[in-house]
């Protein structure tokens, strides 16, 4: 009983701490999928800089950031959104972790007349003003073009993907395949493996592909973990530069591998732009301006192709 009471008090203290911030005249809420991943930290950084710009212009604006502690529960994220409605946030930016489960919460924001901006991922609803996202399909097509050029349009390649159940990574695979088939029909895809983002597994799979196809010419890896694992496998096999690798996402490790010419190109998303543009859009909507004529407007924040040459400029 005593313990239960203690927990209750702690929980109340915590919630007071988090809600006390909402006392400013204008509040923009940003709710991402989790608070740990580098991707979301960049979204947050972009949003913070946009808010800082607004404050510098003399506006009284505050950013409230919230996210589930790990990528587990869409219910938790939904309740975070509902909390922001209750707190009367002036605009809400959400990166929904489940398109289906979060649709009702997103519609509730829209129905309450609060500007609703989606970040990174779509939800199963049309009730929002604008979304800033990477067009994964377009990025995958770019990757196909890059790899095709590196291989002069011929040879065998293998794909190391992350999760077989995820919409995002599956789009990166299917659009890549389609584009490759169209633009470089002489390139053969010998297989695909799903490493669940685990670098060791990606490494093992890449080794196996190199073993079964001694004439393998290239790899396409679909996220950060796959890219690092694949890069290291190629490096350790002594095939750096011989087998071309085009990856996805960016980190210190990816950067290191690009520098050493193990990875020739990687698709870098622009999460910073998503957060930055999202806040700018929120401010426009708060002030009654329109983003576009239609609702549910899609903005592709694009990808940057990081290579050894432009590595310095990548944020």
Partner 1 sequence: MNPAAAKPTIHTRKKMSRQTRQIVSTAGALLILAIVFTIANPNFISSMNILNILKQATPIIIIAIGQTFVLITSGIDLSIGSVIACSGIVAAICMRAGLPVWLSMTGGLLFGAGVGALNGVLIVYGKLPAFIATMGTMTTIRGLALFLTQGIPIGSLPKTFTQIGTQRNWLLNVPNQVWIMFILALIFGFILAKTKVGRYTYAMGSNYEATRLSGVNVNRTLIIVYTISAFLAAWAGMIMTANVISAAPTAGDGYELDAVASSVIGGASTLGGEGIVPGTVLGALVIATLRNGLNLSGASPFIQKMIIGIVIIGAVFIDRFRRTD
d(CA 193, CA 206): 9
Site for partner 1 in 239-258 (CB under 8 A): 251-253, 256
The candidate with the shortest Cα–Cα distance to 269, out of 228, 303, 301, 298, is: 303
Which of the stretches 21-29, 32-40, 52-60, 278-286 binds partner 1 when contact is defined by CB under 8 A?
A: 32-40
Applying CB under 8 A, among 204, 297, 299, 300 the residue interacting with partner 1 is 204
| 68 contributes a contact to partner 1 by CB under 8 A | no
d(CA 230, CA 235): 9
Applying CB under 8 A, among 228, 234, 245, 291 the residue interacting with partner 1 is 228
Q: Residue 277 corresponds to which tokens in the numbers above?
A: 């543009």
Applying CB under 8 A, among 84, 232, 266, 304 the residue interacting with partner 1 is 232
| 73 contributes a contact to partner 1 by CB under 8 A | no
| 199 contributes a contact to partner 1 by CB under 8 A | yes
Which of the stretches 114-122, 197-205, 263-271, 293-301 binds partner 1 when contact is defined by CB under 8 A?
A: 197-205
| 212 contributes a contact to partner 1 by CB under 8 A | yes
Per-residue HEC secondary structure of the chain comes to: CHHHHHHHHHHHHHHHHHHCCCCCCEEEEEECCCCCCHHHHHHHHHHHHHHHHHHHCCCCEEEEEECCCCCCCHHHHHHHHHHHHHCCCCEEEECCCCCCCCHHHHHHHHHCCCCEEEECCCCCCCCCCEEEECCHHHHHHHHHHHHHHHCCCCEEEEEEECCCCCHHHHHHHHHHHHHHHHHCCCEEEEEEEECCCCHHHHHHHHHHHHHHCCCEEEEEECCHHHHHHHHHHHHHCCCECCEEEEEECCCHHHHHHHHCCCCCEEEEECHHHHHHHHHHHHHHHHCCCCCCCCCCEEEECCEEEECCCCHHHCC
| 214 contributes a contact to partner 1 by CB under 8 A | yes
Rounded to the nearest whole angstrom, what is the least distance from the CB of residue 168 to partner 1 in the complex?
16
| 80 contributes a contact to partner 1 by CB under 8 A | no
Rounded to the nearest whole angstrom, what is the least distance from the CB of residue 203 to partner 1 in the complex?
6
Rounded to the nearest whole angstrom, what is the least distance from the CB of residue 107 to partner 1 in the complex?
30
Compose the 125-164 pattern: x for residues touching partner 1 by CB under 8 A, - for all others.
---------------------------------------x
Is 200 or 310 the residue whose CB approaches partner 1 more closely?
200
| 41 contributes a contact to partner 1 by CB under 8 A | yes
Which of the stretches 101-109, 116-124, 191-199, 270-278 binds partner 1 when contact is defined by CB under 8 A?
A: 191-199
The candidate with the shortest Cα–Cα distance to 95, out of 113, 111, 71, is: 71
Rounded to the nearest whole angstrom, what is the least distance from the CB of residue 187 to partner 1 in the complex?
17
* Cβ atoms < 10 Å from Cβ of 231: 28
| 14 contributes a contact to partner 1 by CB under 8 A | no
| 34 contributes a contact to partner 1 by CB under 8 A | yes
Is 61 or 159 the residue whose CB approaches partner 1 more closely?
159
| 205 contributes a contact to partner 1 by CB under 8 A | yes
Residues engaged in binding partner 1 (CB under 8 A): 34-38, 41, 69-70, 164, 190-194, 196-200, 202-205, 207-209, 211-212, 214, 224-225, 228-229, 232, 236, 251-253, 256
């Amino acid at each position: 009983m005593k313990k239960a009471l203690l927990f209750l008090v702690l929980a109340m203290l915590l919630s007071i701490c988090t809600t006390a911030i909402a006392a400013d005249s204008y509040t923009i809420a940003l709710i991402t999928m989790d608070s740990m991943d580098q991707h979301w930290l960049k979204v947050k950084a972009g949003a913070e800089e946009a808010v800082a710009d607004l404050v510098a212009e003399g506006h009284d604006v505050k950013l409230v950031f919230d996210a589930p502690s790990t990528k587990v529960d869409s219910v938790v994220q939904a309740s975070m959104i509902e909390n922001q409605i209750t707190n009367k946030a002036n605009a809400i930016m959400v990166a929904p972790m489940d398109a289906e489960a979060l649709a009702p919460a997103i519609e509730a924001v829209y129905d309450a007349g609060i500007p609703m901006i989606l970040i990174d991922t779509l939800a199963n609803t049309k009730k929002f003003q604008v979304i800033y996202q990477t067009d994964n399909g377009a990025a995958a097509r770019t990757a196909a073009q890059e790899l095709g050029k590196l291989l002069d349009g011929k040879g065998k390649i293998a794909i190391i993907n992350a999760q077989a159940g995820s919409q995002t990574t599956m789009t990166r695979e299917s659009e890549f395949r389609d584009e490759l088939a169209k633009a470089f029909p002489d390139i053969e895809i010998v297989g695909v493996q799903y490493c669940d983002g685990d670098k060791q597994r990606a490494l093992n799979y890449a080794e196996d592909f190199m073993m079964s196809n001694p004439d393998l010419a290239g790899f396409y890896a679909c996220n950060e973990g796959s890219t690092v694992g694949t890069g290291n496998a190629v490096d350790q096999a002594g095939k750096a530069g011989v087998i071309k690798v085009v990856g996805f996402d960016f980190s210190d490790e990816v950067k290191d591998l690009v520098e050493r010419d193990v990875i020739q190109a990687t698709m870098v998303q622009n999460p910073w732009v998503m957060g930055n543009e999202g806040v700018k859009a929120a401010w426009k909507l708060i002030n009654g301006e329109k983003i576009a004529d239609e609702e549910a407007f899609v903005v592709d924040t694009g990808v940057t192709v990081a290579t050894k040459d432009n590595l310095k400029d990548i944020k």
